[in-house]
Structure 1
Amino acid sequence: MKKRHIALAALGVLAVGAGTAAYVATPTVHEGAPGETPELGRFGDYTVGTSLLEMTLPDRVTFGALGMATGQTETGDRVLDVRLYYPAVERTGTGAVAYTHTMDPPDMEPVTLDYQGRALDGAEALAEGQFPLVIMSHGFNGWSTQFSNLAEHIASRGYVVASIDHADMKLEGTSDFVLSFSRVLASRSLDQRQVLAQILAASGEGAEGPFALIDPEQVGLIGYSMGGYGALATAGADYDYESGTFATVPGDALAPLRAVAGEDAGIDAVVAFAPWGGQPDNRVWSSETLSRITAPVLIVSGGQDDVSNHAEGVSWIFDQLTGTSRHMLVFREARHNIVGNAFAMPEDAPFRAIEFVSEPVWRQDRINGINQHFVAAFLDLHLKGDADKAAYLDVPTTDANAGTWETGFGEQLNGKFAGSDEPDHWRGFQKRWAAGLDLFSKKAGE
């Protein structure tokens, strides 16, 4: 069967500081101040290493197509790959890693997506330092390196990142879709919890490599779509199991989830990209269960999301999180794919592949730079206690287009970022470049 090979378009090869490997630059990666990426969307000071782990999650309940009708289940080990990103020693490892994933949905020739990373494969972790841990969780039928640009960015700013590959069942037809999705309903939060528990256990006394760098007292969780569905439960928002959404999941498969989903797994900050499960037709929470989350939350959504339903689903989740402070960043006119690498797609690529990883209105690289900016501000504020980062989230105008920045006639700013001298403009954006965005904020109790 013929494979289409999709490679990341290179705009140039730059050196990443003294002694680090070369990398392929995209429009979201710049040295110094020039360029369109907001201030905190720039790569951080740390060299990033990456390594792949295989984790065995014991005592997991699973089921097949027959089990959806009969309730029959099986118990055994669940084995998942987890990719680590971490602050590393320069000039170690085997060079910058190239990420590859093959999409092979039914009735479509396989499409291989390549993305050139910046992380050094197998690099030696720093010998000292303590950094917050961030767990990343992809959407339905996604993969662990689908958002490698965001994972590398976070790690470069002083975090250890663990991105889970949930190994969702491949889709061969409609019946497989129902079975695969039903398994995800029962497994996403459990995957997150077990991976987190194993990493924290490995980071204890005598830990080595990246595990020795982890500060177990500061844990963040980032989830996209079904990863966001899981993340909110992992942070303490139990599900409504009487919802018709769970009708295809055997009771025995839900029992392990019911036993823990109402408990906060020790999450100190949550980033939910387009979280699924708030829309009226598939609402899996109540106002009361969402109000139990006490960790601060950043939600990122497309204003025209028709998968998670921005107007009646994502916005509803945001409003119900009354137990904590939260922000909701909205890309106006965007739909569901508001996070993910900017893969270059050839003109003859199957539309199904294009639709899975691309936005119809926004450039993906522009979205990525903005996401990196706000995620960095949010995590630095809540996991590192950097109070200065609050100014990047407490924007002067909900509508970015309404911000103002007075300049003289003919004055050329050359990419200057808005700082404290521009109090009426979104902090960290260039003049005229904070556009097409809304940022809503509410405090606990509101």
Structure 2
Amino acid sequence: MNAVSRLVAVALVLMMNAASAQEYFGDARPDAPELAARGPAKVGVRTLVAEHRDQLDVLRVTEQAPNPRTTRKLTLEVWYPAALANGQIEHTVYTDVLGSGPNDPKRPNTPFQFNGRAVRDAAPAAAAPNVRYPLVIVSHGYPGSRLQMSYLTENLASKGYVVVAIDHPESTRADKAGFASTLLNRRLDDLFVLDTVAAWAKPGSGNFLAGLVDVDRSALVGYSMGGYGALNTVGAGVSAAAVAFVPGGKLAVNQQGNAEYAQQRDGRIKAVVAFAPWGGAHKIWDADGLAGVRTPVLFISGDQDDVAGYKDGVQRLFEGAVNADRYLLTYVGGRHNSAPNPPSPAMWSNADDFQSYSEPVWDSRRINNINQHFVTAFLGIQLKQQPLQAYLELPPLAADGTIKPDPGLWKGFPKRAALGLEWRHLPAR
């Protein structure tokens, strides 16, 4: 081998090593629970836009203009089972932004990129004959983005779901605006996206999802304000006290006891996953409002959550949703970031950006794998009737925090790995 050939060979080895060293959020650690593994389907991803016309522009409500209108332009990221052409590799690069809204000199909206295991604009894979893919709608925090839980959205798509994540206008890191918009619009955005995907899924619609999605088997996955919106969508009407949080009393459209609100409960939504849902500690719901939830819910939270609250927040919601079959997974010592991707390297130069994704005592990748495992089991049961109930029938922890009678008896967890977690289940009354 001459010198030129050796240099070429070395360069190829270096390129291969660099490629293998790329980090993909959501990959399973060696100690990941069983159901965290990706499914058999290859994954495609596309970016679409849906326009919700003639909506109340709540941030411009005044006495002189009590009903201003606007078009809400929702950017959607869609992950789906894909049919890859020869040579196509599951790799894409997502572009998101840092910061906590525009015009913040301490946290400017700086773009950053990270890798994904999906193929941009790949052809969709047809489901089995007479079978369509269930739909999962994902709603981010305030502020957040449609890309902030890609470890989970890609994972679910590989298991035979169509996953649609929303950029909620006036609630992303790029365009954060008044909180009243987020309080009012999360439920309305969720239902609009459900209807939009239903239209796209109709045979002959011209959309790439035509004939592929079964919207009658849908779930909502929400983080923080996304969790608030998901609960509000499935029947947790807000309290009279909460209505005052939005100008002009406009939040009454989402209020418990409002007949129009009650009529908009959508039976196509069969399950909710609520990560650190906000509102339990903030007078958003009273007992009657929480009792309005009849959809099965998986709550996931840290017991040190200082944003949504835990005992007076997430745990209160879990215990108060008395008419729903519900589960609560708790990360002992965890704060509010039980849902997002790990921090990207771009975030390491700003402590606030880093802390908006990281956990102080938990490894984010470990959290991601545990979330993948439990969400796979929960949605598999609720949307696909898969025989996965044993993964949710777990022995409770003893008072000293250990699992009795033998550590490691949580189904699907490697021996000695189910530590730092608490699990509760309450059936509908």
TM-score where L is the length of structure 2: 0.86
Specify whether residues 261 and 223 from structure 1 end up closer, same or farther in structure 2 by C-alpha distance, changes over 3 A only. farther
The answer to whether the Cα contact below 8 Å between 1:236 and 1:265 also exists between their aligned partners in 2 is no
Deviations 1:55-112 (A, max 9, x none): 01122101336x3677734112211101111111023778622111112341324443
Q: Residues 185 and 385 of structure 1: is their aligned pair in 2 closer, same or farther, counting only changes over 3 Å? A: same
- Counterpart of 2:151, as a letter, is N
- 2:231 matched to 1:232? yes
Aligned equivalents of 1:41 and 1:360: distance in 2? 23
Determine if contact 2:72/2:169 at 8 Å carries over to the other structure.
no
Moved more, 318-327 or 336-345: 336-345
d(CA) in 1 for partners of 2:306, 2:52? 33
Q: Tell me, what secondary structure is at the counterpart of 1:189?
A: helix
Report the CA distance shift for 1:304/1:11 in structure 2 as closer, same or farther (over 3 A): farther
Structure 1 residue matching 2:338: 3-state secondary structure: coil
Question: 105-114 or 331-340: which moved more?
Answer: 105-114
| Rounded Cα–Cα distance in structure 1 between residues aligned with 2:17 and 2:405 | 32
AA aligned opposite 2:193 = V
TM-superposed deviation, 1:236: 1.5
Q: Does the Cα contact within 8 Å between 1:48 and 1:155 map onto a contact in 2? A: yes
Match of 1:54 in 2: 49
Q: What letter is aligned with 1:64?
A: L
The separation in 1 between residues aligned to 2:345 and 2:189, in whole angstroms, is: 31
Query: Counterpart of 1:4?
Result: none
Structure 1: distance between partners of 2:26 and 2:150: 13
Hey, what does 2:299 align to over in structure 1?
299
Shift of 1:255: 5.2
Q: Distance in 1 between matches of 2:219 and 2:348?
A: 39
Indicate yes or no: 2:251 matched with 1:254.
Answer: yes
Where does structure 1 differ by over 6 angstroms across 4 or more consecutive aligned residues?
68-71
Matched to 2:372, the amino acid is: Q
Aligned partners of 2:25 and 2:342 also within 8 Å: no
Inter-partner Cα distance in structure 2 for 1:171 and 1:131: 31
Supply the distance in 2 between the matched residues of 1:124 and 1:167 (Cα, whole angstroms). Answer: 29
- Superimposed CA distance per residue, residues 257-285 of structure 1 (whole angstroms, 9 cap, x where no aligned partner): 45654332221000000001110xx1211
Answering whether residue 94 of structure 2 is matched by residue 99 of structure 1, we say yes
Report the Cα distance in structure 2 between the residues aligned to 1:158 and 1:140, rounded to whole angstroms. 29
Aligned to 2:350: 350
Deviation at 1:115, TM superposition (A): 1.8
Q: Give me the whole-angstrom Cα distance separating, in 2, the residues matched to 1:63 and 1:70.
A: 13
Aligned to 1:112: 111
Match of 1:138 among 107, 127, 140: 140
Distance 2:323 2:157 in 1: 29
Deviation at 1:344, TM superposition (A): 3.2
Change (3 A) 1:317 1:11: farther
1:168 to partner: Cα distance? 2.2
Deviations 1:148-173 (A, max 9, x none): 1100001111101110010225789x
Q: Secondary structure at the match of 1:88?
A: strand
CA RMSD of aligned residues (A): 2.7
Cα 1:146/1:261, change in 2 over 3 Å: farther
How many angstroms apart in 1 are the aligned matches of 2:71 and 2:110?
Answer: 30
Partner Cα distance (2:320, 2:47) in 1: 37
Alignment of 1:121-270 (within 5 A): 121-129=120-128, 130-168=132-170, 180-207=178-205, 208-240=207-239, 242-243=240-241, 245-251=242-248, 253-254=250-251, 256-258=253-255, 260-262=260-262, 263-266=264-267, 267-270=269-272
State the distance in 2 between where 1:228 and 1:110 align. 25
Q: Distance in 1 between matches of 2:348 and 2:384?
A: 46
Q: How far apart are residue 370 of structure 1 and its match?
A: 0.3
> Aligned partners of 1:217 and 1:12: how far apart in 2?
44
Report whether the alignment pairs 1:287 with 2:282: no
Check 1:426–1:161 CA distance in 2 against 1; reply closer, same or farther (3 A cut). same
> Contact conserved, 1:49 with 1:88, CA < 8 A, in 2?
yes
Deviation at 1:213, TM superposition (A): 1.4
> Structure 1 residue 226: deviation in Å?
0.4
Q: Distance in 2 between matches of 1:385 and 1:398?
A: 28
Correspondent of 2:31 among 36, 44, 47: 36
- Give 1:405 deviation, angstroms: 4.5
Amino acid at match of 1:230: G
Matched length = 398
Whether the aligned pair in 2 keeps the contact of 1:228 and 1:273 (CA below 8 Å) is: yes
Q: Aligned equivalents of 2:166 and 2:118: distance in 1?
A: 17
Cα distance between partner residues in 2 of 1:171 and 1:41 = 28
Deviation, structure 1 residue 248? 4.2
Q: Which residue of 2 aligns with 1:312?
A: 312
Candidates 270, 273, 276, aligned match of 1:274:
276
Q: Normalising by structure 1, what TM-score?
A: 0.82
Residues 69 and 248, structure 1, Cα contact 8 Å, conserved in 2: no
SS, match of residue 317 in structure 2: helix
Structure 2 contact 236–289 (Cα < 8 Å) conserved: yes
Distance in 1, matches of 2:347 and 2:90, equals: 31
User: Is the contact made by 1:86 and 1:210 (CA closer than 8 Å) also made in structure 2?
Assistant: no
- Report the identity percentage: 34
